[in-house]
Amino acid sequence: MKWKKFTIKTITDAEDIIISTLYDIGLEGAQIEDKVPLTPLEKEQMFVDILPEGPEDDGIAYLSFFVEDTAGSLSVDEMVAGINRELDDLRNFMDIGEGAVMVSETEDIDWINNWKQFFHQFYIDDLLVIPSWEEVRPEDRDKKILHIDPGTAFGTGMHETTQLCIRQLKKHITSDTELLDVGTGSGILSIISLMYGIRHAVGTDLDPCAVEAVRENMEANHIAPERFEMMIGNIITDKAVQDRVGYAKYDIVVANILADVLVPLTPVIVDQLRPGGVYITSGIIDNKEQTVRDAVEAAGLEVIEVTYQGEWVSVTARRKC
């Protein structure tokens, strides 16, 4: 099977936001090539004691996305045009460097097994996240453990935005919590919340691949099917999805989505929250913080906490009683 490879020349500061933005047009699982030195945590996860010195960081990054070359798929010109539209929108509020798009062709790629070279167990505070191909060490067997593999739906817990959400969820969940997880992806936020003892979760996503990803991750973590209901559809624009999700019934709504999606989502999601319910958002690049705060306050919610990790922001708000 052949794949089209789309490579974008950009700068390291723009890597995360470009990857997140292009996810919306169907480009997922970016391969990143840059000269940024590894962090101590990344070195630890590679299980290598001494790494060779790499070249000096020049700030340039190459992001590659792979699309299966099949009948009925978008043409190269159509895909490049879509990528350029997204990049042009980003240029309006941030520096993305050259932003050139290059196209090539490659043969079969074993996506999941290639991930195994890079994804190793790690901690998010007291939670151990471990993939299926690694063993739990004896000293970790009494820890709270999340079993999750990289796959077709977003969310393994490594990204700062996910970790910001997890920490906020742990502050607010109780044994009675009814949770709505918008843009659930792999289901990681709902599954962790269920592990920490909430009563029930509902997840929504645009991508049908999320259904199977959620099912597999629930099974891996021994979550009973009746505790997590998955729905596919656009809760922002689809009244049928809104009705099925239900109104004024959720103690917490969590949305780890880009700021440009949070803005139209927020006035809709207010109706799903109970009075006094908490709204946890992330996926917000730091220069979009005020945009999201304005949207939250315009929807009648009260901002109760803003937290930061790297260049990412989480805004937590409450619906007034």
**Chain segment 299-315, per-residue pLDDT in tens:** 999 999 999 998 899 99
| pLDDT greater than 50 at residue 50 | no
Is residue 5 within 8 A of residue 31, CB to CB? The reply is no
**Chain segment 103-160, per-residue pLDDT in tens:** 988 766 555 556 566 667 777 888 888 877 778 788 877 888 888 876 544 566 667 8
52: confidence class by pLDDT, cuts 50, 70, 90: very low
Q: Give me 144's structure tokens.
A: 């709270």
Adjacent-strand bridge partners of 169 = none
Is residue 255 within 8 A of residue 280, CB to CB? The reply is yes
How far is it, in rounded angstroms, from Cα 138 to Cα 123? 15
Q: Which residues contact 276 (CB under 8 A, 6 or more apart)?
A: 318, 319, 320, 321
**Chain segment 172-231, per-residue pLDDT in tens:** 999 999 999 999 988 899 999 999 999 999 999 988 878 888 898 899 899 999 999 999
| pLDDT greater than 50 at residue 49 | no
User: What separation in angstroms does the CA of 111 have from each of 19, 47, 60, 65, 193?
Assistant: 17, 21, 25, 12, 28
**Chain segment 245-289, per-residue pLDDT in tens:** 999 999 999 999 888 889 999 999 999 999 999 999 998 988 899
Greater model confidence, 232 or 149: 232
Residue owning tokens 């052949």 = 2
Q: Percent of the chain beyond pLDDT 70?
A: 84
pLDDT at 42: 46
* This prediction's pTM: 0.67
CA angle at 163 for the pair 159 and 168, rounded to the nearest 5°:
150
How far is it, in rounded angstroms, from Cα 243 to Cα 232? 13
